[in-house]
């Protein structure tokens, strides 16, 4: 993440009222707050790691993001949701960042 211009602010954010965010960071190049979900797989038999981030999971991540923004008193900043796909195979590890992977699901708005 750091090699790609991200500054990590917090890991494993779990607000008391529900939600979760694996990594909260800032994309220094785009000056954007980024909420990251990390998905790891050892095979692509069931699809890409990002395919596991269904609507229910997006809602959980979004609740965590809204809690983070609430702590900051809802600042006027850009933010997005990324997914980091980690594929662990016999030949090694590959990492792929899916930038702006999804938007706030309904009924959440900012």
Q: pLDDT tens digit string along 56-90?
A: 999 999 999 999 999 999 889 999 999 999 999 88
Residue 85 lies in a domain: yes
| Domain that residue 95 falls in | 2-102
Indicate the pLDDT class of residue 34, thresholds 50, 70 and 90.
very high
Q: How many domains does the chain have?
A: 1
Is position 107 within any domain?
A: no
Burial (CB count <10 Å: 0-12, 13-18, 19+), residue 55: exposed
Smallest CA-to-CA distance from 38 within 11, 78, 64 is with 11
Tell me, what CATH number does 27's domain have? Answer: 3.40.1350.10
pLDDT at 1: 87
- In whole angstroms, what is the distance from residue 63 CA to residue 42 CA? 28
Q: For residue 109, is it within any domain?
A: no
CA dist., res. 86 & res. 106, Å (int):
28
Count of positions (residues) in the chain: 110
Q: Does some domain include residue 65?
A: yes
CA distance 47 to 45: 6
Task: State pTM to two decimals.
Answer: 0.91
How far is residue 22 from each of residues 65, 84, 89, 93, measured CA to CA in Å? 10, 10, 22, 19
- The residues, any chain, with a CB within 8 Å of residue 50's CB and separated by 6 or more, are 39, 83, 85, 98, 101
Residue 60 inside a domain? The answer is yes
Asked if residue 7 is part of any domain, the answer here is yes
């Amino acid at each position: 993440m750091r090699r790609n211009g991200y500054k990590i602010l917090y890991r494993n954010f779990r607000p008391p009222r529900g939600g979760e965010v694996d990594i909260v960071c800032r994309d220094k190049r785009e000056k954007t707050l980024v909420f990251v979900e990390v998905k790891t797989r050892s095979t692509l038999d069931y699809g890409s790691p990002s395919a596991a981030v269904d609507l229910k999971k997006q809602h959980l991540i979004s609740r965590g993001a809204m809690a983070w923004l609430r702590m900051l008193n809802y600042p006027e900043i850009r933010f997005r949701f990324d997914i980091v796909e980690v594929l662990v195979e016999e030949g090694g590890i590959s990492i792929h960042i899916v930038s702006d992977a999804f938007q706030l699901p309904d009924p959440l708005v900012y």
